Structure 1
Amino acid sequence: MKIARKTAAAVAAAVAAACLATGALAQTKALRLGHGIAEEHPLGQGAIQFAKILEKKSGGKLAMKVYAATQLGSEAQMIAAVRGGVQDIVITSTAPVATMIKEYLLFDLPFLLQNEKEADALLDGPVGQKLLDMAQPKNMIGLCYWENGFRQVTNSKHEVKDLAGLSGLKLRVMQNPVYIDAFKTLGANAIPMPFTELYTAMESRAIDAEENPIAIIHSNKFYEVQKYVTLTNHAYAPYVVLLAKSTWDKLAAPEREALRASCTEARDYQRTLSRRMTSELTNKLRKEGMTVTPLAPAEVQKMRDKLKPVTERYTAEIGPDLVAQAQQELAKLRK
């Protein structure tokens, strides 16, 4: 009888523990985060950190599963999935967001930003917040901005030391009107193409050139199919963290605050990592056999001058007031 009682007690304890565990699991909300970049890239590492921070700040109430390297689809597909409530979070470059929120073209204006300090001030200030708020009517909540970085030009043909070196290059650009117009104006044959098709197009020599931040150039092994890098810094590319509004609406106030705070903390980690790795990876590209050419200030100015009509054209589309606000904030910083 004693043995039977002990067995019964043990079974009861096990059932109780299982119930508690099930209850704990039921209380944990599982979120799916997708992005398009390799896990070793600063974005990939930042996303992993984001998940760890969120679990801690939410007291275990929010758990995040990260799907890297387009596992959940292209950036455009993931944005659509977030808008539809099928996916909880996407971290995406701002260029595809601009197809539905034209004001996001602000970040694509050539040579708008000169350094990371200016980028942080603009993105984390009133202008950046105004753009985040514009995501809500599109069924998304803008949480914060991370760093993709300053964009550089690579090619397989020849060293590009000046504006003339771009002439005639078949150069892949994002499916974004500002980039298409800008590189056509600079004399390149701008070819819009999804990122997922880029490596194969370079490998087959269907295109000669492309433009991306250093970390993307390295993590995607473009050095295998490209010989030259020119440090143009022609645009600064941010990432934006977007949450499905349907997910947001189901969260309690403390969970919402945990999400925002976690995004910001992970942002600072990711930006620091991105900037350190950009310098390290530039040297690694040299070791992989690429010729890295900084663009002389006089040549940068030639590009700026050439692209002024492009900036003016898209300022009208983005909204003159928003562009003026951004330029005023930047002018204060430069003083």
Structure 2
Amino acid sequence: MKRFPLVRWLAVPCAALALLAAGAQAADIKARQVKFAFVNNAEHSQGIGAKRFAELVAQKSGGKINVQVYPAGVLGGDLQVISSLQGGTVDMTAVSAGLLVSRDKAFGIFDFPFLFANAKEADAVVDGPFGKRMNERVLGQGLVNLSWWDIGFRSVANSKRPIVKAEDIKGLKIRVIQSPIYVDFFRALGANPVAMPFSELYTAMETRTVDALENPISNVEVNKFYEVSKYLSITNHMYNPMLILFSKKIWDQYTPDERELLTSAAEEAKLYQRKVSRDQDAQSLETVKKAGLQVNEVAPAELAKMRQMAQPVIDKYRKEVGEDISDAMDKAVREARANSK
């Protein structure tokens, strides 16, 4: 077999890096520091996606743009960080769509119970015309959405009892995100919802300030909520897409080349992050079972009963988010389902 000098092999990656650096030099890209803050741990798919994004930005900019990742709420809870973006003191974050409701009621559409049948439907909706329409809306809030990532379907973990029937939720004191539709949805099921920041949830479960939480399974595992819960009931009651938001105040100071670079990196990282998120959910389910959490899947008939109980809430929020947004979402979901057949 013909042998090649080691230096020749080393020349290949070095040449590739040189090309990247030359491309960044030719483009209008300056040396910049980007603060990327979010509430989940670095091991969560949110953190893994942020790390991949940072790596891509470094590669594409020839090392000029350095993305500094701040996980686990070290710069504040979701709403606090969004305010920091609007003020221009933090550059970017990753948040669930529902957390924008207090600024634009139209984003409540993503919190409608049992909206998507599966992740494929959700991807088609946010990656299509409907997602682009919602991107336009965040601009008015002083924010720029670079991409749509995944958090996953939400289920209920609690310290009291397994949820086998819809009625089993009644009386549970459950933490929900700071979005009115979550409060009304669980109130309609007979629970006592408590809106609080995610960063306070573990302590609230530990001290029994709340009995229950509703989160994607990966959140339950990565944030060790199995230590303060006994039961996990798979309800898949809501699906959360995640926006990768950038401060418009800072974005407006960037060159077109820098904006294109950041957007392309976020879109490229999206595919990786979605796969990690969905793989994590499957792996997390096994992990929490081994940790002692009692897991049960709620029967379709009981889920249908929950949706029926929640129908007045859905009807109320169709008007809140706007009939035009509700109709556009209905159309997008129908098209996604038709294309998946």
TM-score by length of 1: 0.90
Return the alpha-carbon distance in structure 2 between the equivalents of residues 27 and 257 of structure 1: 13
Distance in 2 of aligned mates of 1:62 and 1:36? 23
| Residues 95 and 243, structure 2, Cα contact 8 Å, conserved in 1 | yes
Equivalence map 1:1-335=2 (5 Å): 27-335=30-338
- Name the SS for the 1:30 alignment partner: strand
Secondary structure in 2 matching 1:38:
coil
For 1:198 and 1:248, the matched residues in 2 are separated by: 32
Write the deviation string for residues 62-116 of structure 1: whole angstroms up to 9, x where unpaired: 2211111111111111101110111111111222211101111111111111100
Query: 1:204-243 CA deviation, whole Å, 9 max, x = no partner?
Result: 1221111000111111111111010010000001211111
Name the Cα RMSD after superposition: 1.3
Mapped to 2, the partners of 1:314 and 1:83 lie a distance apart of 26
- Which amino acid in 2 is paired with 1:231? I
Q: State whether residues 154 and 211 of structure 1, in contact with CA within 8 Å, keep that contact through their aligned partners in structure 2.
A: yes
Count of residues in correspondence between the two structures: 311
Give the distance between the partners of 1:290 and 1:152, measured in 2 at CA.
13
Could you list the runs of 5+ residues in structure 2 that have no partner in the other structure?
Answer: 1-24
Query: Aligned to 2:276, what secondary structure does the other structure show?
Result: helix
Q: CA deviation at 1:141?
A: 1.0
Q: Secondary structure at the match of 1:233?
A: strand
SS in 2 for 1:234: strand
Q: Are 2:234 and 2:295, in contact at CA under 8 Å, matched by a contact in 1?
A: yes
DSSP 3-state at the match of 1:113: coil
Deviation at 1:120, TM superposition (A): 0.2
| Over 3 Å off, 4+ runs | none
How far apart, in 2, do the equivalents of 1:310 and 1:46 lie?
33
Aligned position for 2:3: none
The TM-score with structure 2 as length reference comes to 0.89
3-state DSSP of counterpart to 2:236: coil
Following the alignment from structure 2 to structure 1, what is the Cα–Cα distance between the partners of residues 164 and 211? 16
Taking the aligned partners of 1:208 and 1:63, their CA distance within structure 2 comes to 41
- Per-residue deviation, residues 180-220 of structure 1 (Å, max 9, x unmatched): 00001011111222222211111112211110001111111
Check conservation: 2:149, 2:270, Cα contact below 8 A.
yes
Separation of aligned partners in 1, 2:122 and 2:244: 16
Structure 1's unaligned 5+ residue stretches are 1-23
CA distance in 2, matches of 1:64, 1:205: 38
Percentage of identical aligned residues: 40
Q: Give the Å deviation of 1:59.
A: 2.9
Superposed CA offset, 1:106-151 (max 9, x none) = 1111111110001101111111111111111221111111111100
**Residues 35 and 75, structure 1, Cα contact 8 Å, conserved in 2:** yes
